[in-house]
Structure 1
Amino acid sequence: MSRYRNVALFLLLAAVWGSAFMAIKAGVEFIPPVLFAALRYDIAGVLMLGYAVVAVDDWYPTTRAGWMEVAIGGVFMIAAYHALLFVGETGPVSSAAAAVLVALSPVLTTAFARLLLPNEPVTASTWLGMFLALVGVVVLMNPDPGRLLTDAVVSKSLVFGAAAAFALGSVLTRRVDGGLPIETMEAWSMLLGAALMHVLSAAMPSESFAMVEWNLTAVLSLAYLAVAASAVGFLIYFDLLDRLGPVEINMVSYVAPVFAALSGWLVLREPITLATVVGFVVIFAGFIVVKRRAVAREVELLGTS
Structure 2
Amino acid sequence: MSRYRNLGLFLALAAIWGSAFVAISAGLDHFPPVLFAALRYDIAGVLMLAYAAFAVDDWYPRCRSEWLLVAAGAVLLIAAYHAFLFVGQQHTTAAAAAIVVSLSPVLTTGFARAFAPSDALSAVGVVGLLVGLVGVAIIARPDPSNLLSADVVATLLVFCAAAAFALGSVLTRAIEADLPIETMEAWSMIGGALLMHLVSLGLGEPIEPAAWTHPEALGALGYLAVVASAIGFLLYFDLLERLGAVEINMVSYVAPIFAAVVGWAYLGEVIDVTTVVGFGLIAVGFVLVKRQALREEFGHVMRWHSSE
1:124 deviates by 1.7
Deviations 1:120-163 (A, max 9, x none): 33322221111110110111111111111111001111100000
Name 2:241's counterpart in structure 1: 242
Aligned length: 303
Is the contact made by 1:31 and 1:212 (CA closer than 8 Å) also made in structure 2? no
Supply the AA of the counterpart residue of 2:30.
F
**Aligned-residue offset at 1:118:** 5.6
The one-letter amino acid paired with 2:22 is M
CA shift for structure 1 position 175: 1.5
User: Match of 2:37, as an amino acid?
Assistant: A
Residue matched to 1:52: 52
After TM superposition, give the deviation of residue 63 of structure 1 in Å: 1.3
Alignment of 1:145-184 (within 5 A): 145-184=144-183
Q: Which residue of 1 aligns with 2:9?
A: 9
CA distance in 2, matches of 1:90, 1:228: 22
| Alpha-carbon distance in 1 for matches of 2:124, 2:59 | 39
Q: Of 189, 209, 216, which aligns to 2:207? A: 209
Task: After TM superposition, list the pairs within 5 Å mapping 1:97-246 onto structure 2.
Answer: 97-117=96-116, 120-205=119-204, 207-210=205-208, 213-214=211-212, 215-246=214-245
Q: What residue ranges of structure 2 are gaps of 5+ in the alignment?
A: none
Q: Do 2:30 and 2:208's aligned partners in 1 also have CA atoms closer than 8 Å?
A: no
How far apart are residue 212 of structure 1 and its match? 5.7
How far did residue 211 of structure 1 move?
A: 6.1
Give the conservation status (yes or no) of the 8 Å contact 2:93–2:269: yes
The answer to whether 1:25 aligns with 2:25 is yes
- For 1:123 and 1:211, the matched residues in 2 are separated by 54
Q: Distance in 2 between matches of 1:282 and 1:129?
A: 9
Q: Is the 8 A contact 1:27 1:218 kept in 2?
A: yes
Q: Secondary structure at the match of 1:21?
A: helix
Contact 2:211 2:218 in 1 (8 A): no
* One-letter amino acid of the counterpart of residue 280, structure 1: F
5+ residue gaps, structure 1, are: none
Q: Is the 8 A contact 1:97 1:140 kept in 2?
A: yes
Query: What is the CA deviation profile of residues 258-293 of structure 1, one whole-angstrom value per residue up to 9, with x for unaligned ones?
Result: 000001000000001111110000000000001001
Find the counterpart in structure 1 of residue 73 from structure 2: 73
Task: Indicate the residue corresponding to 1:284 in structure 2.
Answer: 283
Q: Percent identity?
A: 59
AA paired with 1:84?
Answer: F
Counterpart code for 1:10:
F
Tell me if the contact between 1:136 and 1:278 (Cα under 8 Å) persists in the aligned partners: yes
In structure 2, distance between residues paired with 1:276 and 1:61: 42
* Structure-1 residue corresponding to 2:36: 36
User: Is this contact kept in 2: 1:32–1:211, CA < 8 A?
Assistant: no
The 1:251/1:104 distance shift into structure 2, 3 A limit, reads same
Report the Cα distance in structure 1 between the residues aligned to 2:277 and 2:200, rounded to whole angstroms: 35
CA distance in 1 between counterparts of 2:120 and 2:61 reads 31
Q: Name the TM-score, length of structure 2 as normaliser.
A: 0.96
